[in-house]
Chains A and B, each alone.
Chain A
Amino acid sequence: MASLKELSMKEELLCGGHRACAGCAAPIAIRQALTAVNTDVVVGCATGCLEVTTTIYPFTAWNVPFIHNAFENSAATVSGVETAYRALKKKGKIKRDIQFIALGGDGGTYDIGLQSLSGAMERGHDMVYICYDNQAYMNTGIQRSSATPKGASTTTSPVGSAVPSGKRQIRKDLTEIMAAHHIPYAAQASPSNWKDFTGKVEKALAVEGPAFINVLAPCRLGWRFDPAETIELMRLAVSTCFWPLYEIENGVVTVNHKPRNKKPVSEWMKKQGRFRHLFAPGNEDLLKEIQEDVDRNWDRLLAREAMG
C-alpha cells in the first residue's frame, strides 16, 4: 500500500484540463482509483458527466486508452475489449498484462446500464466496474435516478405544494445487487477515505474475474453545496452511516469503517440544498423516516458482517 505522497507522485492517468465543475467528485474519485493501477490499463466509460467533460474533441484528458460507446453499455463494451485482449493474448499478438476498468455514473449503472452490467458480471469478465454515484442524472440537469435518496428534490422529483417531500421512493441498493451476482469482490467506498478506496481498487484489480466498486461522488450542482466542501460531504455521508464503507470478498462481508459517534443523517442532509425543504415545518416525520432507513440498513449490514 503506497503512501499518499507516493500516490501523488504517480503519473496522472486522468489529467487536468478537463471541464468538470469545480468541486465535482467524479474526477477526484477516478484519479484516486487510477493511482491504484500498477499495470497497463484500458478504461471505458458510459455517456455522462465524466465522459463529456474529459473527451471534448480534439482534446482528451485520458493518458490511457479510453473508449466511450453509449450510455447503457459501458460494461458490455469493456467486456468486449477484455475479450479481445484474451483472444489476442492467446494468439501471442499481445504480450503485456493489461487491466480493464469500466466506469459509469448512477444513471448509466443503476438504471439504463443495469442489464449490461449484470450480464458482464455474470459472464465473469476480468474487469473492475466503478460506479461514481452522484445520486441523480446530473449530466442532463439533475433528474432523479434510482440512486436518488428519498426526500431529495430533483428536476423530475421537484418539491411542490402537492408533493412537499421531493423523491418519495427509497434508493436502490446496487452494491447488494452486485454482491448477489456472487462475484469475487464488491465494495462501497468514498474518496474521503482515500486509503480505503485505493486499497479496494487494488483488491478489485487483483481478483481474477469481475469486481464492482460503488463510490460516492457528490455533485455540487445537484446536491447544492459549497464546492469547497465536496470531501466534507463525503465524510459526513460516511460518518452518518448513510454511505457505509464495506466490502464483500467471496461472500464475506467486512465493514471497513465503524464511526465511533454515528452522527444523525440530518447533519449530512442539512448541508445540501436538495434536502432544504425537509427542514421546513411539517416534514419532521419524513426526516424521522429517513433516519430510520439509515439505521435499519446500518444494523442489517453489521448483522451480516457478524454472520461471517
Chain B
Amino acid sequence: MQVSKRVAITGNEAVAEAMRQINPDVVAAYPITPQTEIVQFFADFVSDGKVDTEFVTVESEHSAMSATVGASAAGARAMTATSSQGLALMWEVLYIASGLRLPIVAPVVNRALSAPINIHCDHSDTMGARDSGWIQIYSEDAQEAYDNLIQAVRIAEHPDVLLPTMVTMDGFIVSHGMGNAKLLNDDVVKKFVGEYEPEHYLLDVENPITVGALDFSDWYFEHRRQLADAHTKVKDVVLQVAKEFKEISGREYNLFDAYRLDDAEVAIVVINSAAGTAKTVVDELREKGLKVGLLKIRLFRPFPHKEIAEALSGKKAVAVLDRADSLSLMGGPLYIDLRAAMYDSPGPRVKMVNYIYGLGGRDINMEQIAGVYDDLMEIAKTGEITQPVTYLGVRE
C-alpha cells in the first residue's frame, strides 16, 4: 500500500483534488451552488499549470454536457460537474451521453430542485436522472466522494461498460463541511486511472466514423437493448475496481455498505451523508442490546437488487429513508425500487416502510432516526404497518 496523506478537507476540495489527480484531457463545466467551488478550484489548477486539462468555460450546463459529449466522442477523457438545476438542464444530453456509450465522469453535488428555489441538499436532482443510462454512485462523505470519483474513471472506461458515471455527494453537508480524508499520492492515482485509449473516436480521421446516427424502428430497440446489456456488466466491474482500489488505498468498497446488518432484526436503508448520523444511532441502540442495522446504498444505477434483497431478507422490518419524493404517492424513489427488489426475496415478506426526510436541506437528527427504529421495532412486534410513507421532520 502507498503512503496516503491525512488532511482536513471539504467535499468540494476533495473532489477537485481527485479531478486534478485524474488530470482529464477536457473539463467543460458551469458553476452552480453548491458545486461552484469545484469549478473554481479546477480553474485555479488550470491557471497554475497543475493539470494538462483544456478547460471549457461554457455558457450553460446544457452546453457543458454537450461539449463534454463532443470531447469524449472525439477521443478525450472528459469530465464535467454540476448540481440541481444544472443537472436538470443537462437532462436531454445525459441520455445522449449514455446512448452514445461515452465514458464521461461527473461529480454531482446533490441539491434540491426548484420550485421553490432552494440551494440546499436533497437528492431530487440525481434521482431525477436515475433512468438516464448513467451509472450512479453515491458517497457518504468527502473520503468516499474522492475515492468514488477516482474509481469511476476506471468503471466508466472499462471496455465491457463504456457508460457515463456520476458520483454524488450531499450539497453543503459534505461539499462544504470539513472532514478528515486520506488522499492518495498523485503518481498513485495517475497509475490507477491509466491512459484513456478509446477504440473508436472522431479524431481518428483515417478511420472516419459517424456518431449520433438516426435509428428508425428497425435499429433503435437493438441499440437500447445493448445499453441495458452494458449495465448488466457494471456490477462485476465495480467490484473488480474496488478490489484494485483497496490495494492502493487500504479502503474497502462494495456495491453497498452493510453496517451491523447480519444479525439485525430491523434495518434502515439510507443514501449519502445521513448514513453517518444513522450509524451513530445504530451503535447507541446496539449498546442497549437492540438488534438494529443499516444498509447504505453505494451503487444505485444499475441497482444491485439481488444482493440488496439477499442482505435484507429475513429482517422483520425495514425502513427506507428517501431524501427525494417521487410524488407517485407510493413513496420515494429508493423505497419504490427496494420494494420491487424485495418482492422476489426468499422467505416471508419483509415489512417495509418509507420516510421522506431532509428535503431542501432540512436537518435530520439522531432522535428522528432513533424514532424510525422505534417504529420498526413496533412493526416487528405487531406485524402491522399503520403508515407506509411518512414525511419525517416536516410541519404538517
Contacts and interface: CB of A to CB of B under 8 A. Distances in A.
A69 B69 contact: yes
Interface in B275-302: none
A83 B56 CA distance: 8
Given A51-B214, A76-B63, A84-B78, 20 more contacts: A58-B219, A67-B202, A67-B210, A68-B212, A69-B69, A76-B62, A77-B66, A81-B71, A82-B70, A83-B67, A83-B70, A84-B25, A84-B72, A84-B76, A84-B203, A87-B71, A88-B25, A91-B25, A115-B60, A116-B59
A56 interface: yes
A69 B70 CA distance: 8
A68 B66 contact: no
Contacts of B212: 55, 67-69
B52 A55 contact: no
B202 A87 contact: no
17 contacts: A51-B214, A52-B214, A55-B212, A57-B214, A57-B219, A66-B209, A70-B92, A76-B58, A81-B74, A81-B203, A83-B26, A83-B54, A83-B71, A84-B26, A84-B76, A88-B25, A93-B75
Interface in B50-107: 52-54, 56-60, 62-63, 66-76, 78, 92-93, 96
Contacts of A98: 203, 205
Nearest to B208: A65
A44 B69 CA distance: 12
Among A51, A58, A88, A115, residue most surrounded by chain B Cβ atoms (within 10 Å)? A88
A91 B213 CA distance: 30
A86 interface: yes
Interface in B1-50: 25-26, 28
Given A80-B78, A123-B56, A40 B96 contact: no
B96 A69 contact: yes
A81 B204 CA distance: 12
Contacts of A93: 75
B330 interface: no
Contacts of A41: 205
A66 B205 contact: no
A42 interface: yes
Contacts, number: 166
Interface in B196-223: 202-205, 208-216, 219
A5 interface: no
Contacts of B96: 69-70
Interface in A86-132: 86-88, 90-91, 93-94, 96, 98, 115-116, 118-120, 122-123
B73 A67 contact: yes
Given A70-B66, A83-B26, A57 B52 contact: no
Interface in A133-172: none
Interface residues of A, number: 48
A250 interface: no
A93 B58 CA distance: 25
Most chain A C-beta atoms within 10 Å of own C-beta, residue among B59, B67, B72: B67
Contacts of B53: 87
Given A64-B208, A79-B67, A87 B203 contact: no
A86 B54 contact: yes
A85 interface: yes
A147 to B, nearest CB: 21
A298 interface: no
Nearest to B67: A80
Given A79-B70, A81-B70, A91-B52, A66 B59 contact: no
Contacts of B74: 42, 80-81, 84-85, 88
Contacts of B60: 115-116, 119
A120 B70 CA distance: 13
B85 to A, nearest CB: 15
A98 B209 CA distance: 15
B66 A42 contact: no
A215 B355 CA distance: 58
A62 interface: yes
B97 to A, nearest CB: 9
B54 A116 contact: no
A193 interface: no
A73 interface: yes
Given A42-B203, A78-B70, A116 B219 contact: no
Nearest to A62: B210
Nearest to A120: B63
Given A73-B93, A84-B203, A98-B205, A55 B69 contact: no
Interface in B87-146: 92-93, 96
A80 B71 contact: yes
A72 interface: yes
A41 B71 CA distance: 15
Nearest to A89: B203
A57 B203 contact: no
B67 A77 contact: yes
A66 B100 CA distance: 13
A81 B62 contact: no
